[in-house]
Amino acid sequence: MPAIRVVQWATGAVGRYALRSVLSRPELELAGVLVYDPDKTGKDAGDLVALPRTGVTCTDDAERILATDADCVLHMPLPASYFGTDQTADLETICALLASGKNVITTTGFVYPKSYGPGVVQRIETACAEGGTSLHGTGVNPGFMSDFLPLALSGLSSRVDHIYVRESSDFRGHPSRHIVVDLVGFTRSAKDYIAAVRPYRAFQRSLFAESAQLVADALGVELDEVEESDEFELATEEFEIAAGLVSEGTVCASRWVFSGLVRGRPFMTIEVVYKADAAKVRRWPDPGFSIHIEGVPQMTVSVEEVSHGLAAAASHAVNSIPAVVSAQPGIRTLLDLPLPTARGQARLA
């Protein structure tokens, strides 16, 4: 059986994990790499992840990638909101890739495009029909913890009253200053953070509203709206993280709450906590994931640690490639695809 030809779109923190995974799997063949960093342009893809040379040269030319013969694109750039534009920029790129005949797996959202309204759905479906392709949005949260796992647990329920999902993440070792400082806002003064977080707030709300809407629709519940609230914490001392120096009095943590409401009461609540260094920020829960379902029966599932969250996000996307490539054209959510597993990747100690 011929290998699946894959393009890696963007090679940031998540993209490099994905690229390494693609290069390590015999059933996948790297067809191209798009980069944004001028220093990466012209380099061999293997050089970016300390693997043997591949013969595939990194390019910053999107048109060249669109013309490349490939089965699937792992689309993993920073979200459009990072560049001060709205999500339609990501939508246009994704639709161009789909129309060119390439299936797309993205980590920029689109876990449940229906939440953006019929116009966005029609735009994607038209591109899929033109290219005979599928779109799948995935990741860890959203993409697994806040949508797949709650739905899997609901299979044990005779009644569901409320679903609560919490993610607490430690950014101490996150290497990307673009993510940790520019996007999440750590190391900024309170004044700068409040000003800079506005576009990110819109992105966060739309992202987690996708999960809430997907879960509600799957369970036959019609949400009236999704509310968002957020707050931040200032550092009481100076400390160093991988992305830079956190000075005393600058933002070192944030907490976001997204509530899918029915008649003014929450049906699904997603709490997201980000900490620059969990050892330095005592407020709010320790790192890990927790899912609580109120109903019959009551259920709580906790994941105390995901040691490499970036690797998990990349792996969930890479593991989805065979199912997405073989799927019927159109938008394919986690409800439409078999659960991606690490088939063929298990290793005995």
Neighbouring-strand partners of residue 251: 234
Q: Are 242 and 172 in contact (CB under 8 A)?
A: yes
Check pLDDT > 70 for residue 153: yes
Per-residue confidence at 151, pLDDT binned at 50, 70, 90? Answer: very high
Check pLDDT > 70 for residue 87: no
Strands in 72-75's sheet, in edge-to-edge order, are 58-59, 28-34, 4-9, 72-75, 103-106, 134-137, 330-331
Number of Cβ within a 10 Å radius of residue 343:
9
Per-residue confidence at 210, pLDDT binned at 50, 70, 90? Answer: very high
The rounded distance, in Å, linking the Cα atoms of 319 and 335 is 16
Share of the chain above pLDDT 90, in %: 80
Quick one: tokens of 75?
Answer: 């689309």
Phi first, then psi, for residue 316 (nearest 5°) are -60, -40
Establish whether the linkage from the previous residue to 52 is cis, with ω within 30° of 0: no
The rounded distance, in Å, linking the Cα atoms of 93 and 79 is 12
Q: Going by C-beta distance under 8 Å and a sequence separation of 6 or more, which residues neighbour residue 59?
A: 32, 33, 34, 35, 41, 42, 65
Check pLDDT > 80 for residue 83: no
The domain ranges of the chain are 4-139+311-331, 148-305
Per the prediction, the chain carries an average pLDDT of: 93
Write down how long the chain is. Answer: 349
The rounded distance, in Å, linking the Cα atoms of 159 and 122 is 34
Q: Going by C-beta distance under 8 Å and a sequence separation of 6 or more, which residues neighbour residue 202?
A: 81, 86
Check pLDDT > 80 for residue 349: no
Check pLDDT > 60 for residue 328: yes
Quick one: tokens of 35?
Answer: 């980069």
Check pLDDT > 60 for residue 348: no
Per-residue confidence at 314, pLDDT binned at 50, 70, 90? Answer: very high
Secondary-structure breakdown of the chain: helix, strand, coil percentages, each rounded to the nearest 5: 35, 30, 40
**Superfamily grouping for domain 4-139+311-331:** NAD(P)-binding Rossmann-like Domain (3.40.50.720)
Check pLDDT > 70 for residue 337: yes
Looking at residue 231, its pLDDT comes to 96
pTM, rounded to two decimals: 0.92
| DSSP conformation class of 338 | P
Q: Are 19 and 58 in contact (CB under 8 A)?
A: no
Count Cα atoms within 13 angstroms, Cβ side, for 255.
14
| DSSP conformation class of 281 | -
The rounded distance, in Å, linking the Cα atoms of 90 and 108 is 8
| DSSP conformation class of 152 | H
